[in-house]
């Protein structure tokens, strides 16, 4: 199972064993904690090593003679004036990666001359827990050089003067942790384990947190006329599902915020089949739906004061005697017809019906969809920004700001009539592929035809939801990208 982290906040502790973590701000005297290092050995070690406490730099010191710890780790925070909120997550992440293999950690958070509040303490703990995540439940034996016990729990005590505030902030931060872990787990799960039905069952589990969850079967979707979504799934032996998760934490009359996720549990490309190399990564083609369920988990777990709805379009795209063909024309729930040019451009077909359904049924205040939609967005932006497409400048500004706060960064891409024309079809109202050029944009134009006037944003997370480079708080293949971003958006812009 993914490693467990147990966080405790305390005003003081009687230190014994394990690793002691001490923080230091650049240009200040080391805030050595006498309890951790009665003889001040670490201060001498830091001087000798010319440790200057640059941001996220560390100094490892083995067992000072009279220290109650086996090891001390000094963690630099850099310039006091430059420390952002996100830096506390990073600092926690670095600390966790440096103490990997230990089971007992004591962190002394108060670093003169810094005032460390409850929120910073909770963020530090969140960074540690996110960094300690690993998905190894399918390995029956650990590697030779890894001496870490398989089912270890990392026990972290964070010593801070702001204990009460820290505990309060941690209840929210822990909800965020659980949501990100849920999203990561789902993306990392192998596709034989996680089909549309199994994914929908995971959504159903959110009822335990007070969310209302409804699962639409193939028959119900047929009745609603979801020909675009159903066409994608018709080559698979595993039937599609549509999960509808509602969290009602706001006033009954408030229109909900809506989040829609592409959940293609495996994408072979269908009859327009993908090359073999790297196809295993297509188990992550449900990264958008994973982020939406993760977000809904967070909102329900921290009892967010908003109404929100999460919709997951869950299908498998397989080649088969019954699979849809290039040249097929399908009718979407909106009534608009779509000529299939490339069966590998399936995500937009799933979203077309999911977005339309969401808009018609819930009349949301705004609608954000997440999808591992195009390889073209990776050509444009790589793995460090997700593509943002929107019909609303206001919603875009809010999202971009949340991206900077959480370091889940977005970059706005254009929409326009010229691009929209590219997906006009000779035989139907539109075609599902406009070719290589502007591939990420024409995909977004396609979605836009299913959202009417509702303020809407499409996040193309193909480069960020899976296989993105490791950073301080994530070493997992499935990153959980989007959960912290959207939780922050909801918190800062729509709650209270
Ligand atoms: Mn595809
Ligand atoms: Zn896909």
Q: What is the pLDDT of residues 63-100, one digit of tens each?
A: 778 889 999 999 999 999 999 999 999 999 999 999 98
Q: Residue 280's pLDDT is what? A: 98
B/e letters for 30-51, b = 16+ CB within 10 Å, e = fewer, are bbbbebbbeeebbbebbeeeeb
Over the stretch 133-169, which tens digit does the pLDDT of each residue have? 999 999 987 666 665 555 678 899 999 999 999 999 9
- Give the percent of the chain with pLDDT over 70: 97
3-class SS of residue 337: strand
- C-alpha–C-alpha distance, residues 160 and 9, integer Å: 7
Helix (H, G, I), strand (E, B) or coil at 20: strand
Averaged pLDDT score across all residues of the chain? 94
Cis peptide before 303 (omega within 30 of 0): no
Three-class DSSP category at 135? coil
Give strand pairing partners of 460: 371, 387
Neighbour-count burial of 8, counting CB atoms closer than 10 A to its CB (0-12 exposed, 13-18 middle, 19+ buried): middle
Task: Output the CA 469–ligand 2 centroid distance in Å.
Answer: 21
Predicted confidence band at 132 (pLDDT cuts at 50, 70, 90)? very high
pLDDT band of residue 30 (cuts 50, 70, 90) is: low
219-242 pLDDT, tens per residue?
Answer: 999 999 999 999 999 999 999 999
pLDDT score, position 493: 98
- Distance (angstroms) between ligand 1 centre and the Cα of 195 equals 16
In the set 119, 302, 348, 448, the catalytic residue is 348
pLDDT at 298 over 70: yes
* Ligand 1 center from residue 187 Cα (angstroms): 16
What's the CA-to-centroid distance between 275 and ligand 1, angstroms?
A: 12
Strand ranges inside 2-123, DSSP E: 4-10, 19-24, 58-62, 71-76, 104-108
* C-alpha distances in Å from residue 86, one per residue of 121, 214, 242, 386: 12, 36, 35, 18
Q: Are 215 and 200 in contact (CB under 8 A)?
A: yes
Lowest mean pLDDT among 26-35, 388-397, 449-458: 26-35
Nearest ligand by distance to the CA of 268: 1
Contact 69, 59 (CB under 8 A): no
What's the 317 CA to ligand 1 centre distance in angstroms? 8
Determine the Cα–Cα distance for residues 313 and 347; give it in Å rounded to an integer. Answer: 9
Phi (first) and psi of residue 359, to 5 degrees? -65, -45
What is the pLDDT averaged over residues 16-20? 91
Q: Please compute the mean of the pLDDT values over residues 422-436 and round it to a whole number.
A: 98
Give the number of the ligand closest to the Cα of residue 274: 1
DSSP secondary structure string for all residues of 343-404: TT--HHHHHHHHHHHHHHHH--SEEEEEE---THHHHHHTTTSEEEEES-HHHHHHHHHHHH
**Cα 430 from Cα 444, distance rounded (Å):** 13
CA of residue 489 to ligand 2 center, whole Å: 26
Task: Give pLDDT, residue 2.
Answer: 47
Rounded to an integer, the average pLDDT of 340-346 is 98
**Active-site residue, selected from the candidate residues 255, 274, 405, 412:** 274
Burial status of residue 254 (CB atoms within 10 A of its CB: 0-12, 13-18, 19 or more): middle
DSSP state string for 419-481? HHHTT--SSSSEES---STTHHHHHHHHHHTTSTTS-EEEEE-TTTSBSPPPBTTB-SSB--T
Average pLDDT over residues 327-337: 98
Which residues lie across from 371 on neighbouring strands?
A: 460
Distance 10 CA to ligand 1 centre (A): 50
Residue 293 has pLDDT above 70, yes or no: yes
Per-residue confidence (pLDDT) for residue 4, from 0 to 100: 79
Counting ligands in written order, the one closest to the CA of 266 is 2
Query: Which of 15-29, 196-210, 243-257, 279-293 is predicted least confidently?
Result: 15-29
Task: Answer whether residue 341 shows pLDDT above 90.
Answer: yes
Asked if pLDDT for residue 372 goes beyond 90, the answer is: yes
Q: Which ligand is nearest to the CA of 284?
A: 2
CA angle 270, 192, 261 (to 5 degrees): 65
pLDDT digits (tens, 9 = 90+) for 258-269: 999 999 999 999
The answer to whether 348 is a known catalytic residue is yes
**Helix, strand, or coil (residue 314):** strand
Answer yes or no: pTM beyond 0.85: yes
Residue 31 confidence (pLDDT) above 70? no
CB atoms within 10 A of CB 448: 18
CA angle 47, 48, 52 (to 5 degrees): 45
């Amino acid at each position: 199972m993914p490693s467990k982290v147990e966080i405790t906040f305390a005003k003081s502790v009687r230190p014994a064993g394990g690793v002691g973590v001490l923080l230091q701000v650049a240009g200040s005297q080391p805030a050595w904690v006498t309890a951790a290092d009665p003889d001040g050995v670490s201060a001498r070690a830091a001087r000798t090593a010319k440790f200057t406490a640059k941001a996220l730099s560390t100094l490892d010191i083995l067992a000072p003679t009279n220290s109650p710890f086996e090891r001390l780790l000094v963690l630099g925070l850099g310039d006091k004036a430059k420390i952002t909120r996100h830096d506390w997550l990073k600092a926690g992440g670095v600390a966790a990666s440096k103490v990997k293999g230990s089971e007992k950690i004591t962190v002394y958070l108060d670093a003169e001359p810094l005032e460390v509040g409850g929120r910073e303490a909770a963020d530090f703990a969140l960074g540690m827990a996110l960094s300690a995540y690993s998905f190894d439940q399918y390995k029956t034996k650990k590697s030779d050089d890894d001496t870490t016990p398989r089912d270890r729990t990392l026990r972290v005590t964070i010593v801070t003067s702001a204990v009460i505030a820290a505990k309060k902030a941690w209840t929210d931060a822990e909800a965020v942790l659980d949501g990100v872990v849920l999203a990561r787990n789902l993306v990392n799960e192998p596709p034989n384990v996680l089909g549309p039905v199994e994914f929908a069952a995971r959504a159903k589990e959110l009822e335990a947190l007070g969310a209302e969850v409804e699962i639409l079967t193939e028959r119900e979707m047929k009745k609603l006329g979801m020909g675009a979504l159903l066409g994608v799934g018709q080559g698979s032996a595993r039937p599609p599902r549509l999960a509808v998760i509602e969290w009602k934490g706001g006033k009954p009359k408030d229109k909900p915020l809506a989040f829609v996720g592409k959940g293609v549990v495996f994408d072979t490309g269908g009859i327009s089949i993908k090359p073999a190399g790297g196809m295993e990564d297509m188990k992550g083609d449900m990264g958008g739906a994973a982020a939406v369920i993760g977000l809904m988990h967070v909102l329900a777990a921290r009892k967010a004061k908003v109404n929100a709805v999460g919709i997951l379009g869950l299908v498998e795209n397989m080649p088969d005697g019954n699979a849809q063909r290039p040249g097929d024309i399908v009718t979407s729930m909106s009534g608009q017809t779509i000529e299939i040019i490339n069966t590998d451009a399936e995500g937009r077909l799933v979203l077309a019906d999911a977005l339309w359904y969401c808009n018609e049924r819930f009349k949301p205040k705004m609608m954000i969809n997440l999808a591992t939609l195009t390889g073209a967005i990776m050509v444009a932006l790589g793995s460090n920004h997700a593509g943002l497409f929107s019909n609303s400048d206001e919603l875009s500004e809010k999202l971009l700001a949340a991206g900077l706060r959480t370091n889940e960064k977005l970059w706005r891409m254009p929409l326009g009539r010229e691009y929209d024309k590219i997906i006009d079809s000779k035989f139907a109202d539109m075609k599902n592929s406009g070719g290589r050029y502007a591939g990420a944009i024409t995909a977004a134009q396609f979605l836009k035809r299913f959202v009417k006037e509702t303020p809407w944003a499409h996040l193309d997370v193909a480069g960020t939801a899976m296989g993105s480079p490791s950073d301080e708080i994530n070493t997992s293949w499935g990153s959980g990208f989007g959960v912290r971003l959207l939780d922050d958006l909801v918190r800062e812009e729509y709650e209270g």
